[in-house]
Amino acid sequence: MTGKMQEDVLEKYLKAGEILSRVRSEAKDKIKVGASLLEVAEFVENRTLELGADGSAFPCNISRNDEAAHATPMADDEGVFGEDVVKLDIGVHVDGYIADSAITVDLTGKHGDLVKASEAALYAAIDTVRSGVDTAHIGAVIEDTILDLGFKPIVNLTGHGVARYIAHTHPSIPNRHIDHGSILQAGDVIAIEPFATDGAGKIVDGSWSEIFSVIGNKPMRLPAARKLLKEIEPYQMLPFAKRWLKTEKLDFALMQLAKSGVITSYPVLKEVAGGLVSQAEHTLIITEDGCQVTTL
């Protein structure tokens, strides 16, 4: 038993983490110059199911260079990896219980220090975690570690809590110094995800979205919108990719659902000064005297 968590729930979190860890390791080997972005994303999502998960907790994110997050290939994507700094962010769920982890793969061979900055910040943060710790303390450790290594944290991105069928929830885990955070309790499940950059340390929304999630519930009058609503029902509140959908008149249906406040989109997030970004992330369960990392 970990903290205040029921044994069966703990087992599902651990199973999701084990599956994710294996998929992440196998997918990392496929990230090479010239390899297809779409093939890597589909490998991650299909392998997740093959290994016994109930599904992806969100579409496989493959964000490159100045992209920090929320990039996933389109249905007919012909893009390939170049000499990129690649963030691979994977989510797995077992009965809604989520594992979330990310790594950075440097295909340039020149930015190992940037990759190390987010990794070092992640492990320094993990070392501080236990029941009773203020998330403000975690944020300070992350920022100090990244700055000490000569980079900047991305101040307007955070780690987050995870809950059943909810990939991002309270508490937020800052990547910078803040005055007051939240006090972590045994049994809380969080994802810590430092982002380091050689840019300005801030992200803005890019111009395209391929990822959506349901945020409301409204009867829809138009047949295409109704059909799409039915198709996305199984994802509950978990994000889904546009390339996963088969509904006809898809763009129109997505627009109708967004206009009605039924779904929201997640634009690709880009570093405001065009700086390169690295990311490292693990999911962990808080215990009285530390934490159990599920995604090692």
193 marked as binding residue: yes
Q: In whole angstroms, what is the distance from residue 159 CA to residue 168 CA?
A: 8
177 marked as binding residue: no
180 marked as binding residue: no
Q: In whole angstroms, what is the distance from residue 275 CA to residue 65 CA?
A: 7
Q: In whole angstroms, what is the distance from residue 217 CA to residue 121 CA?
A: 39
Q: Return the structure tokens found at 37.
A: 């972005």
Whether residue 134 lies in the annotated active site: no
Whether residue 29 lies in the annotated active site: no
| Chain mean position to CA 107 | 21
Catalytic residue, candidates 18, 45, 89, 210: 89
Whether 194 and 175 have beta carbons less than 8 Å apart is answered as yes
Beta strands in the chain (DSSP E): 55-64, 67-69, 85-94, 97-106, 152-153, 159-163, 166-173, 189-192, 195-197, 203-214, 240-241, 263-271, 277-279, 282-287, 290-293
In the numeric block, the tokens 């297809």 are attached to 36
Catalytic residue, candidates 160, 188, 271, 282: 160
Catalytic residue, candidates 106, 119, 193, 198: 193
CA atoms within 13 A on the CB side of 218: 15
Q: Return the structure tokens found at 233.
A: 């029902």
100 marked as binding residue: yes
Whether residue 143 lies in the annotated active site: no
- How far apart, in Å, do the first and last CA atoms of the chain sit? 19
Catalytic residue, candidates 66, 168, 188, 282: 168
282 marked as binding residue: no
Considering only CA atoms, give the Rg of the chain: 19
Catalytic residue, candidates 18, 100, 119, 143: 100
Whether residue 45 lies in the annotated active site: no
Of 70, 88, 89, 93, the residue nearest 207 (C-alpha): 70
Q: Return the structure tokens found at 216.
A: 């409301």
Whether residue 188 lies in the annotated active site: no
Whether residue 18 lies in the annotated active site: no
Catalytic residue, candidates 106, 119, 281, 282: 281
160 marked as binding residue: yes
170 marked as binding residue: no
| Residues placed in the known binding site | 70, 89, 100, 160, 168, 193, 281
| Residues placed in the known binding site for a divalent metal cation | 89, 100, 160, 193, 281
| Residues placed in the known binding site for substrate | 70, 168
Q: Which residues are tagged catalytic?
A: 89, 100, 160, 168, 193, 281
